[in-house]
Structure formats: C-alpha cells, structure tokens
C-alpha cells in the first residue's frame, strides 16, 4: 500500500479572508486568530502584507512575541515592480524586515495579466519573479511563490505559465503554489495542470477560490495529483465568493483521504475554531457549512431519524464528534414517531411511547398547519410533550385576558400636536386553585401582558424575577391575506444562565404573543423555577 503524502496546511484567513465584504479584523483580532490557528496545528499562518498598511505592519511587529506552537508566521507580498532592481522595491524590503522566516511572493503566470495589466513584456515578468525570489532568499528567509492565475494562464499560454514557475524554482523558491485566482477552473483542468507543473521538481501547493463553487473539490483534486501544501481560509472567507474552506478541506484530507495533516484532538476543535473566527469577524456562523455548521448533522425527516436511531452511520457521512460537532434532530410536520422519541430523550424527558407518542406527533402536525414551528422553539416542544403526560399539572392556567391600547394627547413641547400611546393588560390566571385578577401598563401590548402576568406569578414564584425577554420576532406567514394573515411569534428568554425559545401562532398577533409568552414562563418554572421558589419559600418561613 502506497504511503500517503504529507500535506501542510496554510491558512490565509488574516489576508485573503479579510478581503470578504464586511470583514475588518483589528490587530487584536488578528493576533487572537493567529494564536488559535497555531493551537490546532496549522503549519503556516499568513498574517498579511506588511508593506501595504500600518495595521499589518503593527501586526507583524507584535506577532514576533506570539507563541504559535509549530506554526510558521508568513508575510505576503508581490514580486518587484517592472524595470527596477529588487533591492530598490519598498515592498520587498518590508518583507525582509517583517521578521518572518517564511515569505510568500505573488507573481503573474497568465500572459494576459503581464501584457495588459502590468504593461510589460513576458521576459521582464520572468526576471521580476527570479530577481524577487533571489533577493528574499539572500536574507535567509524561505520563499513560497504564488503563481497567480496559473490555471487561466496554463489554458491560454501553457509555455509561459510553466516558465514562470520554472523561474521561481531556479531562483530557489521552496514551494510553488498554483493559484486559481478567478475560481473558474474545473477539477479535471486542475489535475492536468498540476501534473504538468510537477516537472519543475520542487514541492507544489494549491490556492483555490470558490467562484465556481469548486474550491474544495479543486483543492482535493490537486492533492490527489501531487501537491503537498493546501491554502485556504477558515469558513471559506474571502473576496467575492470566497476561498477554499479549510474547515471542509482538513476533515476531508484526514477522514476521507487518510492524510494525517492534523492530530485527532485538534480535528475535534475545528467546530469551535470555525465559530470563534466567525465571532471575531462579526459574521453570523453559517449553520449549513459542511462539517462545522450547526445544521451539518441535523435531521428532520422521520425516515432519516428512524434509521439514525438504529445505526448512527445510516444518515451521517462521519461521526460529528470527530470535528467537534453534534447530531441534532428537529421536530416538524415531516417528522415521524422516531423524531419525537429521539428529541424527548435528548431533552431528558419521560419518553412518550405508543398512543401517547402518536398523539404528540399528530398534535405537532396539526399545530404546524396552523403556523407553529418547533425547529427553533425547543422549549415549546418540551411543553407539548410534558402536557401529554398523565396527570400533568401546569404551574398556572390562563382564565382570560384583555388588552387595551389608547392614544392620549399631551401638552406639546416642540410640536403643536404630540400624542402618547398607552397599553394596559388585564389577566385572570388560576394558580394553586386560586383565580387572581391583575392589571398592568406597558410600553406596548406584549410588554403590558408580560407585566400583568408576572404581577400575579411573582406572588407564588418569586424566583421568576430572574427571567428576561431577550428577543421578540414576528413573521407574517401568508402575506397575500394582508392584516388577516396568520402570524408566528418567536420569543427568546434568558435567566442569565439558560436561554430558551418559545413559539406562538394565530391570526391575532396579541394571541400569538400571549401563547409564546406564557410558554416561556411555564417552561422556566418547570425546568428551573419551581425548585428555586420552594427554596425561597422555606427561607422566608
């Protein structure tokens, strides 16, 4: 059996990834990300372009004292400008002063760019490459040569494209990286070009962009064809459609191709790293990313969940634990009994069986038809299961409620016409066999309902004061019906330690809000609050 090649991982999140629209890493962000990448065993971390801006210059100055483990920090820059000496090029001199032991130089390998963008000759382009590599090498730094637009250049003028990487190799480059800069190559084209480039006789790398949604596929094809360095970014961040996603490439190399590019322990930290970088980038994590997304191992169809319960590999291509992720099961109108029992077990509930399980499933399907959705409201699902248990006693029950919204005119200060809105809610709630009637005002009808309900419940459950409403979302389900449309309300609540979500649906937005609000408080009381309130009662007595 042939020995698997060693493949080195090269991360360019701090440069290429930062070129994604909406991302602007601070120096502190870059230092934190570099440290985290070093901790999971990335071999090369490209920090940026030290000659291009003050932020990158500061980063390289501060990164000299950063513990990156076995990772090497890399400075990035371009070959010298046309018709000047390498030692006179300010960019090259900034690279020499960066303090990194590895420098990546980008140069043109597509003749169209040489003649129509740089406005120089093909011969001068070759000299620019060789002069720049020799100059950086003369200072003792290793050099990787990024052959920009190599695959486009190879298709248009293969002779010149190959001559560019030969020039870099002859000047002493340690690795030639073939770049699909426009992201338009196909895997077969990548394979053919890599095989031709292997004739230069030094290690090759691959740097793919995702404009054709083939960056990961092209990277893996290049590895199969013989490259030993792969470049990419965390979460595939990058300009336009992004770069090759290391969070997909790394597990594919290790788990699918059996190339030991990272340790098992570090692979299991990949999901955490993905979300950490998302947080610093101020971008909501994409739940549908392969391997590391929150939905990557989420199952909704009843048939799938049934199979999953019998054998975990039946509907999962890998064990999610290997990349630090986990399986999730959703409950919806597409569910079967397996979804209900799996989810109940996951939540630590008494697992419904037989007729009770079927009753829960039928209720879910009926409610989803009315606009409820339990995918993002697991607290409401838990209550639905609990309420089917024999002898279930809710901590409170609604008798009725009324909401009044009034507009009051007040004395003007600036304008000659100013008005205030007043919301008042009155609720009747049965608690411990006693019916309590309370009223409260609020800055809106939902706030008033919340205040009135709490006014009653706090008398019996003082610990409920810890619960806060964190978010309130309304979705119109049938816009064509106008103001008669069914609406769905999703409420997110927190007690500072736990977070949960509840759902309500109705053609009346107040009723939908009440359902979600009441579920939120009932859920917390059942999960956490009843025990806390009993402790408080014992202390007061």
Please, are residues 207 and 178 in contact by the beta-carbon 8 Å criterion?
yes
Asked if residue 172 and residue 130 are part of one domain, the reply reads: yes
Q: Which pLDDT score is estimated for 3? A: 55
Asked if residue 245 and residue 122 are part of one domain, the reply reads: yes
Asked if residue 209 and residue 144 are part of one domain, the reply reads: yes
Q: Which pLDDT score is estimated for 1? A: 44
Q: Are strands 397-409 and 102-108 parallel, antiparallel or unpaired?
A: unpaired
The mean per-residue pLDDT over the stretch 441-453 comes to 88
Q: Which pLDDT score is estimated for 201? A: 93
Confidence of residue 196 (pLDDT cuts 50, 70, 90): very high
Residue 128 is part of a domain; what is its CATH number? 3.20.20.70
Which pair of tokens denotes residue 361?
């499933």
Residue 228 lies in a domain: yes
Please, are residues 110 and 104 in contact by the beta-carbon 8 Å criterion?
no
DSSP-derived 3-state class of residue 78:
strand
For the whole prediction, is pTM greater than 0.75?
A: no
Asked if residue 248 and residue 328 are part of one domain, the reply reads: no
The mean per-residue pLDDT over the stretch 55-75 comes to 90
- CB count within 10 Å of CB 311 equals 9
For residue 436, the surrounding DSSP H or E stretch is strand 434-442
Asked if residue 443 and residue 304 are part of one domain, the reply reads: no
Question: What whole-number distance in Å separates Cα of residue 177 and Cα of residue 254?
Answer: 21
Residue 522 lies in a domain: no
Residue 110 lies in a domain: yes
Confidence of residue 229 (pLDDT cuts 50, 70, 90): very high
Torsion angle of C-alpha atoms 74, 76, 80, 82, degrees rounded to 10: 160
Is the per-residue pLDDT at 243 higher than 70?
yes
Tens digit of pLDDT for each residue in 334-380? 555 566 666 656 666 666 666 777 777 777 667 767 677 666 678 88
Is the per-residue pLDDT at 541 higher than 70?
no
Asked if residue 403 and residue 321 are part of one domain, the reply reads: no
Choose among 205, 201, 142: nearest CA to 169. 201
Is the per-residue pLDDT at 462 higher than 70?
yes
Asked if residue 114 and residue 44 are part of one domain, the reply reads: yes
The mean per-residue pLDDT over the stretch 41-49 comes to 94
Residue 406 lies in a domain: yes
Residue 322 lies in a domain: yes
User: For the chain, what percent of residues have pLDDT higher than 90?
Assistant: 48
State which of 363, 387, 411 marks the end of a domain: 387
Please, are residues 510 and 403 in contact by the beta-carbon 8 Å criterion?
yes
Residue 66 lies in a domain: yes
Asked if residue 400 and residue 382 are part of one domain, the reply reads: no
The mean per-residue pLDDT over the stretch 104-124 comes to 91
Asked if residue 329 and residue 190 are part of one domain, the reply reads: no
Residue 136 lies in a domain: yes
Q: Which pLDDT score is estimated for 342? A: 65
State which of 211, 238, 262 marks the end of a domain: 262
Confidence of residue 484 (pLDDT cuts 50, 70, 90): low
Residue 494 lies in a domain: no
Asked if residue 443 and residue 306 are part of one domain, the reply reads: no
Its domain, for residue 369, covers 298-387
Asked if residue 102 and residue 185 are part of one domain, the reply reads: yes
State which of 387, 411, 442 marks the end of a domain: 387
What's the domain count of the chain? Answer: 3
Residue 420 is part of a domain; what is its CATH number? 3.30.160
Asked if residue 258 and residue 193 are part of one domain, the reply reads: yes
């Amino acid at each position: 059996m042939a020995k698997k090649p060693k493949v080195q991982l090269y991360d360019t999140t701090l440069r290429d990834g930062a070129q994604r629209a909406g991302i602007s890493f601070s120096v502190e962000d870059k230092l934190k990300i570099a440290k985290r990448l070093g901790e999971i065993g990335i071999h090369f971390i490209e920090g940026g372009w030290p000659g291009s801006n003050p932020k990158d210059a500061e980063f390289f100055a501060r990164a000299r004292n950063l513990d990156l483990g076995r990772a090497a920090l890399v400075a990035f820059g371009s070959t010298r400008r046309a018709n000047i000496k390498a030692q006179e090029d300010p960019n090259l001199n900034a690279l020499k002063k960066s303090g990194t032991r590895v420098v990546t130089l980008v140069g043109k390998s597509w003749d169209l760019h040489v003649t129509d963008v740089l406005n120089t000759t093909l011969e001068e382009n070759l000299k620019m490459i060789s002069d720049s590599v020799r100059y950086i090498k003369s200072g003792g730094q290793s050099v990787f040569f990024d052959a920009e637009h190599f695959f486009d250049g190879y298709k248009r003028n293969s002779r010149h494209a190959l001559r560019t990487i030969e020039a870099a190799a002859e000047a002493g480059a340690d690795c030639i990286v073939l770049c699909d800069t426009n992201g338009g190559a196909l895997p077969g084209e990548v394979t053919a070009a890599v095989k031709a480039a292997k004739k230069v006789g030094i290690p090759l790398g691959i740097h793919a962009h995702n404009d054709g949604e083939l960056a990961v596929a092209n990277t893996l094809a290049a590895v199969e064809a013989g490259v030993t360095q792969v470049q990419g970014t965390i979460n595939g961040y990058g300009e336009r459609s992004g770069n090759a996603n290391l969070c997909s490439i790394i597990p594919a190399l290790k788990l699918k191709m059996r190339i030991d590019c990272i340790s098992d322990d570090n692979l299991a930290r990949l999901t955490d790293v993905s979300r950490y970088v998302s947080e610093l980038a101020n971008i909501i994590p994409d739940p549908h990313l392969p391997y590391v997304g929150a939905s990557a191992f989420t199952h909704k169809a009843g048939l799938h969940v049934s199979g999953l319960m019998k054998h975990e590999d039946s509907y999962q291509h890998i064990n999610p634990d290997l990349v630090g992720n986990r399986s999730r099961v959703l409950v919806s109108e597409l569910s079967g009994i397996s979804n209900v029992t799996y989810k109940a077990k996951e939540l630590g509930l008494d697992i419904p069986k037989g007729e009770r399980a079927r009753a829960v499933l039928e209720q879910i399907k009926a409610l989803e038809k009315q606009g409820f959705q339990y995918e993002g409201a697991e607290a409401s699902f838990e209550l639905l299961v609990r309420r089917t248990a024999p002898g279930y006693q809710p901590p409170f029950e609604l008798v009725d409620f009324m909401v009044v919204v009034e507009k009051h005119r007040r004395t003007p200060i600036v304008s000659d016409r100013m008005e205030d809105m007043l919301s008042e809610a009155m609720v009747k709630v049965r608690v411990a066999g006693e019916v309590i009637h309370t009223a409260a005002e609020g800055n809106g009808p939902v706030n008033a309902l919340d205040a009135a309900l709490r006014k009653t419940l706090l008398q019996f459950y003082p610990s409920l004061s810890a619960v806060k409403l964190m978010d309130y979302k309304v979705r119109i389900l049938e816009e064509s019906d106008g103001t008669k449309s069914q609406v769905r309300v999703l409420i997110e609540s927190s007690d500072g330690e736990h977070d949960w979500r509840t759902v309500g649906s109705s053609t009346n937005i107040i009723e939908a809000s009440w359902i979600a609000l009441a579920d939120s408080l009932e859920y917390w009381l059942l999960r956490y609050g009843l025990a806390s309130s009993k402790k408080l009662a014992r202390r007061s007595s």
